[in-house]
């Protein structure tokens, strides 16, 4: 069974071009298809080879919208894993420094810095792992060994692909576009429509955190986007 990540990568016509651009408070980070693929590979290799997860297992992703969150999702899907339900902590949890206490049952707590360069998180307790230290040593190529039944809670891989493409069609997203969006992607339905919709359609996504208060028209002009979804 093909993974969602394989489908996203297959839709990229030029891996050197920006695929995901993130605008956050005091941040602008642009990742080419190749760079995002490398991060996803490192995460997938960690989850399979170090954490020992098997296709069909789940991972908790307790993160806001960010380029690192997208990399985590693509990494776990590539390893044939699914996203755990909201109230169901999996063995491995990716979260932020301020939410560590929300996951007392996790075997592996990985703290994601949400900074522009994936740097280290200072002053972590002994029971938590740093995102950069944990995933960066792993290889930036990945060879999948199986697929998950459910990529998101209640959503099979095939259902996600169909729904994402339907959402993209409804929004007028087509291959080759650069799409500027402020739409959230934290819930399963939001991830399907607002993150995977553009990516599975072969479009590049420029995501702007509404908290920045950015002038979307100005961002659209700077990024040369074709469509604004807000």
Provide the 8-state DSSP code for 100.
G
Asked if residues 184 and 194 have their Cβ atoms less than 8 Å apart, the reply is yes
Mind listing the pLDDT tens digit for each residue in 132-151? Answer: 999 999 999 999 887 777 89
- Provide the pLDDT for residue 149: 78
- Provide the pLDDT for residue 2: 83
Neighbour tally for 210: CB within 10 Å: 13
Structure tokens at 207: 């995501």
Rounded to 10°, the helix 33-45/67-78 angle is: 60
Neighbour tally for 170: CB within 10 Å: 10
Q: What is the CATH number of domain 4-229?
A: 3.40.50.12780
Strands (DSSP E) along the chain, which ranges?
A: 18-24, 27-32, 58-61, 82-83, 92-95, 108-111, 128-130, 150-152, 155-156, 178-181, 204-208, 227-229
Mind listing the pLDDT tens digit for each residue in 160-211? Answer: 999 999 999 999 999 999 999 999 999 999 999 999 999 999 999 999 999 9
pTM across the whole model = 0.96
| Cross-strand bridge partners of residue 31 | 20
Asked if residues 160 and 150 have their Cβ atoms less than 8 Å apart, the reply is no
At residue 1, does pLDDT exceed 70?
A: no
């Amino acid at each position: 069974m093909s993974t969602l990540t394989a489908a996203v990568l297959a839709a990229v016509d030029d891996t050197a071009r920006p695929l995901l651009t993130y605008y956050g408070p005091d941040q602008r980070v642009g990742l080419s298809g190749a760079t995002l693929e490398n991060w996803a590979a490192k995460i997938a290799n960690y989850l399979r080879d170090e954490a020992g997860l098997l296709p069909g297992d789940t991972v908790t992703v307790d993160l806001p919208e960010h380029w690192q969150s997208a990399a985590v999702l693509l990494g776990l899907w590539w390893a044939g894993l699914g996203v755990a339900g909201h109230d169901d902590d999996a063995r491995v949890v990716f979260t932020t420094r301020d939410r560590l206490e929300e996951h007392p049952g996790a075997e592996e707590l990985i703290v994601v810095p949400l900074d522009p360069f994936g740097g280290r998180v200072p002053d972590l307790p002994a029971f938590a792992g740093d995102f950069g230290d944990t995933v960066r040593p792993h290889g930036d190529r990945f060879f999948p060994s199986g697929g998950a039944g459910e990529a998101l809670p209640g959503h099979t891989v095939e259902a996600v692909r169909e729904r994402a493409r339907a959402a993209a069609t409804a929004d007028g997203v087509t291959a080759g576009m650069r799409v500027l969006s402020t739409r959230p992607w934290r819930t399963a339905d939001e991830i399907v429509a607002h993150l995977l919709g553009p990516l599975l359609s072969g479009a590049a996504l420029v995501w702007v955190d509404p908290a920045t208060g950015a002038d979307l028209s100005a961002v659209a002009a700077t990024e040369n986007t074709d469509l604004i979804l807000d």
